[in-house]
Amino acid sequence: MGFITSFHSKSRSIRSEPTKTPSADDPVSVNYFPSRECNYACGFCFHTDTSRFILPIDKAKEGLRLLKEAGMLKLNIAGGEPFLHPKFLSEVLRYCKEELKIREKFLREHCQWLDILAISCDSFDRETNIKIGRGPDGNKDGDNVAQLFRISEWCKKYGIKFKLNTVVNIYNWDEDMAAQLEKLAPFRWKVFQCLIVAGENEDETRKRDARKFLITEEQWQTFCERHKHLDCYVPEDNKSMASSYLLLDEEMRFLDKGDGPMKKSDSILDVGVKPALNQVFWDKESFVDRGGIYEWGRPEMQEGGCGTGDNKELDW
């Protein structure tokens, strides 16, 4: 298992320079799930390990080219756990940075193709992580938190933006994470309310039943109030999450995880980007309102961090 995998790293981002002026309907930011495979069993997961399918790399490259031509400026590679397929991941990153003509200085190895590394961390307490489904999985000391701090230092060393994602659920809603966040100093901390998605995690017939992880509105607001003073803090409740993300699955189909059963478009490899996009609902206004467009590049972000003072990097 790779050193990132043990943290269920989930996502890393790459950015491109626009080849044209973006329009309101362009898929400017796409979350791509190349595989559903995962080494964790988080009880609230809404994109579960129900398939081992992964596209041939040439097909993946074709789809990424189509997205770039349609106006994509940022690609977020998520999962599952992308690092379970390291060759596929590194080739996708290299392709996006070199052959899709994205401007960026090269650093070391695969870091040269990476703008943002987002790590999932739902608790700084070992027992809480085990309850959630993020128990020890191969770390020498079994301590996920220690590894998290090492990863944040590696990001600083190689000039990669470090981002943190947290799902607020019944096991962590009363945890105070402020002190640890100030030490980690991510440039952005996305805090999600535990979400039910029909067809993925809504009951005992699915691979994950997230109902026992749900929290009340009062519990959600309590967590938010406790951390809202942090500059890096970006909360997203269920309403914000449901339709504001542009999701692309392992077969390069757009996903609509709004109200009711999840919908899937035809693959962009079969019908093209715009026709596929028209088959799902993407709430572009909510995408902008939640701060979906921000400085995606690398250079200046290492200054500042998750403190309590003014942070101009988070002005949208």
Instruction: Cis check for the bond before 80: say yes or no (omega within 30 of 0).
Output: yes
Work out whether the CA dihedral 190, 32, 295, 163 comes out positive or negative: positive
Catalytic residue among 45, 96, 121, 232: 45
User: CA 13 to CA 301: how far, in whole Å?
Assistant: 14
Number of other residues whose CB lies within 10 A of the CB of residue 109: 10
Could you tell me which of 30, 157, 15 has the C-alpha nearest to residue 93?
15
Residue at 147: amino acid letter: Q
CA–CA distances in Å: residue 75 to residues 72, 89, 154, 247: 7, 12, 22, 10
Catalytic residue among 38, 96, 155, 232: 38
User: CA 126 to CA 120: how far, in whole Å?
Assistant: 14
Could you tell me which of 5, 11, 45, 10 has the C-alpha nearest to residue 169?
45
45: left (phi over 0), alpha (psi -120 to 50) or beta: beta
Number of other residues whose CB lies within 10 A of the CB of residue 98: 13
Tokens of 53: 């399918």
User: CA 103 to CA 19: how far, in whole Å?
Assistant: 12
- DSSP letter at 111 equals G
User: CA 222 to CA 151: how far, in whole Å?
Assistant: 29
Catalytic residue among 42, 121, 155, 232: 42
Q: Is 45 a catalytic residue?
A: yes
Catalytic positions are 38, 42, 45
